[in-house]
Amino acid sequence: MKSLGCSCTWREHSKNGVWLWAVVVLHVRAFGLIALASMAKPGCEERCGDMEIPYPFGMGDEGCFVEGLDITCNRSVVPPKVLLGKGNLQVLNISLANAEVRVNNTRSLSYSCYNGNRTSGYVTLPENLPYTFSNKTVFTAIGCDTVGYVTDNDSFTSGCVSQCMNRSTVVNGSCNGIGCCETTLPKHKNYLRVSATSLSNYTLSKEYSWCSYAFLAERESYNFRGTDLRLFLSKADLAIVLDWEIRNGSCLSTANSSSIPHVCGENAECFDSERGIGYVCRCIRGYEGNPYLSGGCQGMDSLSLPPPPPFPN
């Protein structure tokens, strides 16, 4: 019961114990464990619509977020939209444990069709912000006479090819070169452009597939359907995953520095990001919560309930 500020033993307080236990149980039932600890910096706004914005992300005053991880809450739309930085990428999810954000991506879609319809797609992450494409985001192309390309303009070009012998060889859920193909992306990119084109102008497939599509999407959230060959544009509702980090210094440079504040709280460990710039924090084993806040990582033991004390005679 240390969390309630009682330094006494159960025995000494067995009379109050039943009552205290009931209060804890009711509290946990009514508000959930999450509600016991705020994820935002004290004094800062916690929510944008339904979404909780955990520090080092934050809204409003500069002290409420770590440089580069500010969030804009557009409350003039219903429900309110959570936006990355001052930009227009809509945030769907923020994960501290994986150092990821999931954003709604509709702009990476590129297509080209037999009838000449075409458009190009790209995603630009703001260059000065600490976001790059996660390896959970993959490049995907759809079509039965299709070559899809992905490039960052100057250092790499990759892609994949998809062909179908006939309509019946296409299998739902299978993105392996028949109607759908995918390829992984190099790490740490913040700009990607995609395009799709046909190999032989849909000569063999135009009865059932007359467009080629290319896009970026979270591998787990896009599931290919044969029907996407015809109707993909109408359901282009794609999410992509980005990695983020705190760019100010590294674990080592911040550990003993008074000029660069170290952001990891107690019971949290610091991990340098793979790129050598920046770091992330994680609660140590047995603790959960927000590793970027002082007192944010809470012992799982202190949250588990003690057995009810025996009834006093």
Ligand X SMILES: *[C@@H]1O[C@H](CO)[C@@H](O)[C@H](O)[C@H]1NC(C)=O
Residue 174 interacting with ligand X (CB under 6 A): no
Question: With binding defined as CB under 6 A, does residue 104 bind ligand X?
Answer: yes
User: Which range binds ligand X by CB under 6 A, 8-16, 35-43, 109-117, 155-163?
Assistant: 109-117
Q: Pattern 52-91, binding to ligand X, x per CB under 6 A?
A: --------------xx------x-xx--------------
Residue whose C-alpha is closest to residue 96's, from 294, 307, 296 = 296
Amino acid identity, position 169: T
Q: Is 211 in the site for ligand X (CB under 6 A)?
A: yes
Burial of 157 from C-beta contacts in 10 A (0-12 / 13-18 / 19+): exposed
Query: Which CA distances in Å does 89 have to 71, 93, 123, 311?
Result: 10, 12, 9, 57
Question: CB under 6 A: which stretch of 14-22, 31-39, 220-228, 280-288 binds ligand X?
Answer: 220-228
The nearest distance, CB 172 to ligand X, in angstroms, is: 4
Number of other residues whose CB lies within 10 A of the CB of residue 138 = 23
- Could you give the strand order of the β-sheet that contains 90-95, starting from the edge strand earlier in sequence? 71-74, 81-84, 90-95, 100-105, 238-244, 131-133
Restricting to residues 268-297, which ones interact with ligand X according to CB under 6 A?
A: none
Nearer to ligand X by Cβ, of 20 and 142: the residue is 142
Which position among 106, 157, 176, 183 is part of the footprint of ligand X (CB under 6 A)?
Answer: 106
Cβ at position 4, least distance to ligand X in Å: 29
> How many CB atoms sit inside 10 A of residue 57's CB?
24
Applying CB under 6 A, does 183 fall inside the site for ligand X? Answer: no
Q: How far apart are CA 261 and CA 243, in angstroms?
A: 22
Q: Select from 219, 249, 240 the least CA-distant residue to 101.
A: 240
189/276 Cα distance (integer angstroms) = 15
Mark residues 4-43: x for contact with ligand X by CB under 6 A, - for none.
----------------------------------------
Structure tokens that stand for 25 in this block: 């149980």
Pairing of strands 279-283, 268-272: antiparallel
Taking the complex as a whole, the smallest distance from the CB of residue 28 to ligand X amounts, in Å, to 21
For residues 74 and 49, is the Cβ–Cβ distance under 8 A? no
Of 47, 135, 158, 204, the one binding ligand X (CB under 6 A) is: 135
Question: What stretches of 192-261 show up as alpha helix (H) in DSSP?
Answer: 228-231, 251-255
- Is 117 a residue that touches ligand X (CB under 6 A)? yes
Regarding 150 and contact with ligand X (CB under 6 A), the answer is: no
44 binds ligand X (CB under 6 A): no
Binding residues for ligand X (CB under 6 A): 66-67, 74, 76-77, 92-93, 95, 104, 106, 113-115, 117, 135, 153, 165-166, 168-169, 172, 191, 201, 211, 225-227, 233, 237, 248, 252, 255-256, 259-261
